[in-house]
Amino acid sequence: MTPKLRIAAITDEFTSDLAPALDAMAAIGMTGAELRMLWGKNIMNLSPEELKTAQQLTRDKGFEVISIASPILKCVLPGGPDIDSPFQQDIFASKHTFDDQPRLADQAFDIAEMLGAKIIRVFSYWRTVNPDACFNGVVDALTWLSEKAAKRNLIIGLENEHACNIATAAESARLLDAVRLPNLKLVWDPANALCSGENPFPEGYAKLPKDRIVHVHLKDCHLEDHKPVWGPLGTRSVDWKGQIAALRADGYHGWLSLETHWAGPANDKLQGSTICGWNLRGLAAA
């Protein structure tokens, strides 16, 4: 059951205690780590000493840090329409404003360079009742971020996020067409598109420019009353077998990275992510 694409995870989906998270991931055969929350803190709030510890742990345990899963642009766009309140706004111990974004960007770039990550995951402001009215603001922000990151040879990875203004494949494709900078790429999350009312595969995926997909997040759910009910990867509504096969056929060589979301059996997050991690390994090997 050797994966045909490299597999990874956001480490705090196992536990925010980095060492045991990496041990659990290594047992599954993962070799890539995305860093979002460590020791109960968002990565943007870690001290220099804590960042050095993260650097040492990932190196010692043989992991490549592939992405800084930052909260950049998970904030309100000033002057925009009202926020679409039904969407859950996950902030992962990081609450920042529009005015904080330049500082966050510089900080994320510094952290990425220290840890050897090439991708900075970003968003598109909290989703409003009229996302189209925010489109130009999102374009301006991502253009600025991408131009700034290019000077440091870093990739801006826009995640389609159901709580943000760019949520679906259709919205992602429109944005990527508007900002044709080579280091602006997509972190494709089919489950987020599903939560936004789109069939992510095959319909959504068919709309995406395949050469702009830099990274893929994997989680699974079905919808009840338009709300996601998370479960074990590969058992719910996302056609992960078809999606992974299509990625391989289209020449994707990036990572498949677990973002479990499921609370796990008896709310045991570590066990839930371990189950999903083994499911990911099986899907990646098919």
Q: What is the pLDDT of residues 233-250, one digit of tens each?
A: 999 999 999 999 999 999
- Give CA–CA dist 286/14, Å, rounded: 24
> What does the longest C-alpha to C-alpha distance in the chain come to?
51
pLDDT tens digits along 143-168: 999 999 999 999 999 999 999 999 99
Residue whose C-alpha is closest to residue 285's, from 248, 254, 258: 248
Q: The tokens 């706004």 sit on which residue? A: 89
- Give CA–CA dist 45/2, Å, rounded: 36
Ranges assigned E (strand) in 124-226: 155-159, 184-188, 213-218, 220-224
Give me the helix-helix angle, 48-60 and 101-115, nearest 10°: 40
Residue whose C-alpha is closest to residue 154's, from 94, 105, 98, 189: 105
Q: In the structure, what pLDDT confidence band is assigned to residue 93 with cuts at 50, 70 and 90?
A: low
- Amino acid identity of residue 141, one-letter, is A
The 3-state secondary structure of 219-270, one letter per residue: CEEEEECCEEEEECCCCCCCCHHHHHHHHHHCCCCCCEEECCCCCCHHHCHH
pLDDT tens digits along 23-69: 999 999 999 999 999 999 999 999 999 999 999 999 999 999 999 99
Provide the whole-model pTM. Answer: 0.97
Give me the helix-helix angle, 135-150 and 169-178, nearest 10°: 60
Averaged pLDDT of the chain: 96
Q: What is the pLDDT of residue 261?
A: 97
Residue 88 has pLDDT above 70, yes or no: no
Ranges assigned E (strand) in 2-133: 7-10, 32-35, 37-38, 41-42, 64-72, 119-122
Fold topology of 7-285: TIM Barrel (3.20.20)
Q: The tokens 């999606």 sit on which residue? A: 243
Q: In the structure, what pLDDT confidence band is assigned to residue 96 with cuts at 50, 70 and 90?
A: confident
Ranges assigned E (strand) in the chain: 7-10, 32-35, 37-38, 41-42, 64-72, 119-122, 155-159, 184-188, 213-218, 220-224, 227-231, 256-258
